[in-house]
Amino acid sequence: MGFHSLRACTDQLRNEGELIVIDHPVHQHLEIAEIQRRLFRSGGPAVLFTTPQGSAFPILVNLYGTQKRIERIFSDSLDRVKKLVELKIDPMEALKRPWRYWRSPIDAISMLPRKVRRGPVLSHEIPLSRLPQVTNWPNDGGPFITLPAVYTEDPHRPGTLRSNLGMYRVQLAGNEYEHDREIGLHYQLHRGIGVHHSAAIERGEPLKVSIFVGGSPAVAVSAVMPLPEGLSELTFAGVLAGHRIAMISRPGRPSIYADADFVIEGIVMPGVTKPEGPFGDHLGYYARKHEFPVMQVEHVWHRKDAIWPMTVVGRPPQEDTLFGWLVHELTGPVIPTVLPGVQSVHAVDASGVHPLLLAVGSERYMPWKNDTRPSELLTQASAILGQGQLSLAKYLFIVSQGDAPGLKAHQIRPFFSHLLERVDWLRDCHFHTETTIDTLDYSGSGLNCGSKLVVAARGPAIRSLPREIPAGWSLPNGFYAPRVCLPGVVAVTGPAIEPKPQMSSSGTDDAAIWRISASAPWSADIERLVSTIRDDHPLRSWPLVVIVDDSEFASASLENFLWITFTRSNPAADVHGAGSTVHQKHWGCTGPLVIDARLKPHHAPPVVEDRETSARIDALCRSGGPLAGIVRE
């Protein structure tokens, strides 16, 4: 039932034609990552490199690269997980349809991890430096583990039932890390490991950490699941894997995953940090070098048939996009029970996930009043922003289901049209300033520092959305090439901002990279534009105007528009509007709303493939090459 090991999974996928073995020695520095990106874009198979250059272990890519393959990997358990979710929503369903839920109590028992004394992962111990050293992007600070399951236990109450399993960034080498002794551990705000780390600091003791790589594919998926605090991801992994997760129990030491391919054991000492990064991250930019906790490595274990799984993150969509799809499939129906009145929430992958949330709520206050002012929507917006990783959002757009009963949050084009037809920019913009945003988002005023904008719109449509740009537009100097992105949304190329973002070659960037943003001299460009948008100006009929570096690129696809607009803007600094006013500390404008989404000096630079590496992979993909017919040129 399910796959106990990664080897069992790859063998089965190979038999079914979903995995291909490549013996050609492709290098683990940049080349394997280049192949992974191409495999994912083309919907290709999983690939097992048996003799990668620079690695003593086979390397697996694209395991989670298609919905079909994910459904096959978890074919024995997805339906059971969904049934447990249904019972979470309405326990009475078990009485109404007992034949559907007869085995759910058995599945609930299978959630509990089981204790064992030994396991395959303890077969061999090796130095840290013998692990695969895969590097994904040219400016990465070193090799990283990209599919880790980082395990910690509550220092106050050790044990698997109060453990946390999370997928946090792990830098294996580079920077100032001591060779074979230290690795970097990067985790963001609002992650479960932070609770355990704080408890360890409170007790004045090191935090014990174990990093699992490989094993059942269910373990990696469980590490990214947004489970309620206090519910161990190991319990969820048991149901998804179809068997109880075996944990090796040892006196005085944390448990470790018996069926993992690799385990790194160590401790994080209180107050010890070192520079970590840069790293090409899921927003599509380089996370810069910053101080993060250091893990002192004590043991590195691996099983005798170990496989090293890896993925690539970067500008979406990437393989982790499918993780997001699976999370929504399994947990989406629970949202109305956790957030009363909220019908659906969608973290928009194309925008880098955290920068933009779309939500459909409901208005149930005073149903006898014919009112178009959002009221309960704002309550629901606050509840959404108070939930775990959803709290990292910069933009939250929420509408009322009563205005469009069939609208879902994941229907991006219809959602934008619905909102822009109804929004009143004077009333419906609600800013949160001087607050936290995603650690990986450099559009704000400092590390983790930025702002949020909630736009809540309800009621009948108040405008028709333009779809074509009329001739004879007049724009201020430096602004040109208006292009339609969506109905009601136009992108305009604005004056270039210099200097462009650069990578720091040494030391940590810290607050210095944001210092220039304090004065934001480029805002004068936008104010010059909005001052010209009077009642008779053609831009007046467009509710949303986005100022970009290249309007042709921004308007070329929905994905380009979403990525540029919401990763390159900080609401409090970069949202402007024609006819703006402040009334009782509430900002609004008569419209259009103008978002400055140009690259600014304090932003991180976008990730870009290495040309020489791309050329080498092109050669391997041509007719007669070892990757011909497998990977697209």
Burial of 419 (0-12, 13-18, 19+ CB in 10 A): buried
How far is the CA of 249 from the CAs of 118, 244, 322, 574, in angstroms?
8, 14, 33, 52
Pairing status of strand 429-436 against strand 356-361? unpaired
Helix (H) or strand (E) holding 271: strand 262-276
Burial of 127 (0-12, 13-18, 19+ CB in 10 A): exposed
For 432, residues 6+ apart whose C-beta sits below 8 A from its C-beta are 385, 451, 452, 453, 454
Backbone angles phi, psi at 171, to 5 degrees: -95, 120
For 518, residues 6+ apart whose C-beta sits below 8 A from its C-beta are 445
Pairing status of strand 182-186 against strand 290-302? antiparallel
**CA 372, CA 385: separation in Å to the nearest integer?**
23
How far is the CA of 246 from the CAs of 4, 8, 77, 212, 257, in angstroms?
9, 16, 18, 13, 6
3-state secondary structure 68-121: HHHHHHCCCCHHHHHHHHHHHHCCCHHHHCCCCCCCHHHHHHHCCCEEECCCHH
State the Rg of the chain over Cα: 25
Active site residues: 281
The answer to whether 586 and 426 are in contact (CB under 8 A) is no
Burial per residue of 320-336, b for 16 or more beta-carbon CB atoms within 10 angstroms, e otherwise: bbbbbbbebbbbbeebe
Cis peptide before 317 (omega within 30 of 0): yes
Q: Which bin fits 236, alpha (ψ -120 to 50), beta or left (φ > 0)?
A: alpha
- Strand, helix or coil at 285? strand
Question: Of 579, 593, 596, 450, whose CA–CA distance to 523 is shortest?
Answer: 596
- Strand, helix or coil at 30? coil
Which amino acid type is present at position 66? T
Any idea what DSSP says for residue 633? -
Pairing status of strand 308-309 against strand 59-61? parallel
Structure tokens at 235: 């319990």
Strands (DSSP E) along 447-579, which ranges? Answer: 449-457, 480-486, 489-493, 544-548, 575-577
The answer to whether 491 and 483 are in contact (CB under 8 A) is yes
**CA 616, CA 62: separation in Å to the nearest integer?**
20
Question: Of 311, 263, 308, whose CA–CA distance to 50 is shortest?
Answer: 308
